[in-house]
Structure 1
Amino acid sequence: MLAISGALIRKLRVEVGLTQERLARLVGVSQAHVAKIERGVVDPRLSTVNRILQVLDGWKSRRCRDIMSSGVIFARLRDRVLDVSDKMVKHCISQVPVIERGRVVGTVTEESIMRRLGSDIDKRTVKEVMVSPLPIVSEETDVEKIKGLLKTYQGVLVSRGMRIVGIVTRSDLLKFLCEPV
């Protein structure tokens, strides 16, 4: 028989990367109550334990496909920077993957455009301003595993087989972290 203890709840909470405060908000109890449960000071109601386990299970099983933005907008090496910049503004995005012959070869970011901004920007092509490609992960990748990548990169491309089907940006991750389970 499985015994649910405060130590087990703490272990599960830490594994999924939630703070006591965040778990408390998601469950609908105080942070102090979560702390007491984890220390074994209080004997919580079964309904509270069930809500805690539900939140932890839901949090743990989130995959990139659950939080990605689909309909990725791509650029090509020969596209004009002004055209790509217009797309970025129109769609409220800050990076665009660059593809050539079906492969991701780079990324155009607001920063990479700004670094090359000059009087001849209308003549520049994507090839001249692009930076390294964003990392690519499977749509089945656990959200927890991409947190580290998003500390370094502005986004992570999401693939299904050999096809790019979405992107997870820092903004997408922040929305995910703020939403109730």
Structure 2
Amino acid sequence: MPITGTHIAYLHTCHRKLWLFANGIQMEHTSDIVAEGKLIGETSYQDRSVKYTELEIDGIKIDFYDAKNKVIHEVKKSDKVEHAHFAQVKYYLYILIKNGISEASAIIEYPKLRQRQIVEWEMEDLLTVEGWIALTKQIIHQDNCPDLINKPFCKKCSYYDFCYANEENLLPL
């Protein structure tokens, strides 16, 4: 199974979510928050699909890639887990480099916040991203699901009902 940008984002959010997702328990289709994020991505920059290319390569899918300027455009609903978004686009840049596309960059856009974050590839990112890949594979192949992390952002996670189904005395902080 190829590692995707979603795997890398989940690695930086919740190991339990990563393990569940990678092992076929996918709850995103039941989440209103995920649906809202997709809607924002689809409607915020409507002319993008004409201007830019969708790029699928080595298990990743970049919705908006400016091939002329070598820029990935990643649209996100909120900056609540910005570190995970940053890691996801660093992984995309890694995949592009592995496929001979060097000197690319990325822009993470938060249309609701009217903010954007430019992400550049740096040489030390190579070892960092390869470490993420190794850790992702290690977590995915564990026999048991990682423990519940019980963080405030759990309340808005698509896996919330799954994780807290038998935890009457344990609610996110």
* Higher Rg of the two aligned structures: 1
Which structure has the highest helix share of the two? Answer: 1
Higher relative contact order (CA 8 A, sep 6+): 2
TM (norm. structure 1) is 0.24
TM (norm. structure 2) is 0.25
